[in-house]
């Protein structure tokens, strides 16, 4: 089945405050779905409803076509999650912790524990007590707990929270490997948009509890703004006139930098370069600037009332 999660008209009110409003969303097999939103936009509330930790005011959540309910506990055999820095016993080693958490889930196979440690790339620390682990490795261990029963989908709320830059990159690579090599579908929220840009295959932007945009990474690559940038080593007051004479409509930035935005030029920078050279205009830097996910996210939020 392609559709793993379906969120259908989901809303949550706390008193009169609407935290999540009329949310429709699907997560398909193989997605690495980035759930993006500012602080307080309703991401955690949604994730808690996905995990049955918060009861929706309205709407439903389904996994594999079956609605989440108290009578359908078997669903949790296929779901793994990490919603906050997960607990581990500090005086037990990584392996002892996973063995213990495995037993609580009815998993007694040492092989499965070893395989889990390989999946989360922590085997080198198998015998290290958890209290001596870095935060990055503690988060990996949390992922290991979530993966012990080999779920089809992993739901993660801010998995890189508190990690240093190298821990963040490590976590991104690990999640990519889990999706690519182990076929795990991932739904995750994060604030670190430049990392998300390198990882996710689809995204939903949540704003004031509403899903204001949903698109694939390929859609994003097609719709993001692009412009041609020219930078000159030295100031030349006639550049703008020369560029206009060549048919361009340049905008001037600081530091002898100019932007050309017309689509033909952006799509054919080599033709622009040729024209410039024919008039002995030689920029020291010449490149196509693409809107980053962070810039696109901020633009989308602003278009929706900021
Ligand atoms: N139990 C609660 N009672 C009252 N209001 C709540 C409760 N839980 C969340 N909220 C409110 O709902 C809104 C959404 O909160 P939520 O934690 O889901 O946002 P978030 O997008 O996860 O933010 P962050 O990125 O800061 O974690 C916030 O305004 C928050 O104050």
Share of the chain above pLDDT 90, in %: 77
Mean pLDDT to the nearest integer, 258-281: 90
Q: What is the pLDDT of residues 189-208, one digit of tens each?
A: 998 899 999 999 999 999 99
- Cα-to-centroid distance, 188 and ligand 1 (Å): 16
8-35: average pLDDT: 96
43 lines ligand 1 (CB under 6 A): yes
Q: How far is the CA of 185 from the centre of ligand 1 (A)?
A: 25
ipTM, interface predicted TM-score of the complex: 0.96
Given the CA of residue 54, which atom of ligand 1 is nearest to it? 1
Q: Is the pLDDT of residue 235 over 80?
A: no
CATH no. for 226-290:
3.30.70.980
Query: Which pLDDT does position 223 carry in this prediction?
Result: 93
| C-alpha distance across the termini of the chain, in Å | 38
pLDDT at 1 over 70: no
pTM, whole model, 2 decimals? 0.91
CA of 19 to the centre of ligand 1 (A): 7
**59: pLDDT strictly greater than 80:** yes
**Ligand 1 mean position to 223 CA, how many Å?**
30
The architecture that CATH gives domain 3-221 is 3-Layer(aba) Sandwich (3.40)
37 lines ligand 1 (CB under 6 A): yes
CB of 139 within 6 A of ligand 1: the answer is no
pLDDT at 242 over 90: no
Where in the chain are the domains?
3-221, 226-290
Lowest-pLDDT choice from 58-72, 143-157, 286-300: 58-72
Which of 12, 18, 38, 43 for mutating ligand 1's site (highest number of atoms within 8 Å of CB)?
43
- Establish whether residue 34 lines the binding site of ligand 1, counting it when its CB lies within 6 angstroms of any ligand atom: no
């Amino acid at each position: 089945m392609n559709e793993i999660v379906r969120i259908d008209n989901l809303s949550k009110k706390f008193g009169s405050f609407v935290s999540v409003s009329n949310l429709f969303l699907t997560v398909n097999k193989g997605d690495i779905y980035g759930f993006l939103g500012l602080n307080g936009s309703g991401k955690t509330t949604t994730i808690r409803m996905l995990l049955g930790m918060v009861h929706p005011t309205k709407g439903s959540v389904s996994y594999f076509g079956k609605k989440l309910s108290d009578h359908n506990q078997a669903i949790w055999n296929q779901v793994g999650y990490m919603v906050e820095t997960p607990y581990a016993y500090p005086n037990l080693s990584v392996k002892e912790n996973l063995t213990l958490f495995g037993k609580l889930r009815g998993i007694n196979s040492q092989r499965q524990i070893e395989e889990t440690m390989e999946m989360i790339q922590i085997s080198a620390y198998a015998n290290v007590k958890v209290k001596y682990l870095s935060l990055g490795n503690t988060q990996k261990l949390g992922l290991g707990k979530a993966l012990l029963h080999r779920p089809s989908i992993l739901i993660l709320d801010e998995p890189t929270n508190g990690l240093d830059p190298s821990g963040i990159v490590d976590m991104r690579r690990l999640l990519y490997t889990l999706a690519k090599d182990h076929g795990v579908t991932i739904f995750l929220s994060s604030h670190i948009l430049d990392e998300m840009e390198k990882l996710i295959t689809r995204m939903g932007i949540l704003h004031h509890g509403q899903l204001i945009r949903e698109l694939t990474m390929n859609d994003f690559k097609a719709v993001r703004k692009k412009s041609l940038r020219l930078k000159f080593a030295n100031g030349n007051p006639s550049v703008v006139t020369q560029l206009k004479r060549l048919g361009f409509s340049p905008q001037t930035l600081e530091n002898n930098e100019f932007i050309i935005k017309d689509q033909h030029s952006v799509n054919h920078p080599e033709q622009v370069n040729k024209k410039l050279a024919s008039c002995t205009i030689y920029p020291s830097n010449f490149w196509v600037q693409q809107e980053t996910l962070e810039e696109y996210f901020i633009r989308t939020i602003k278009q929706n009332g900021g």
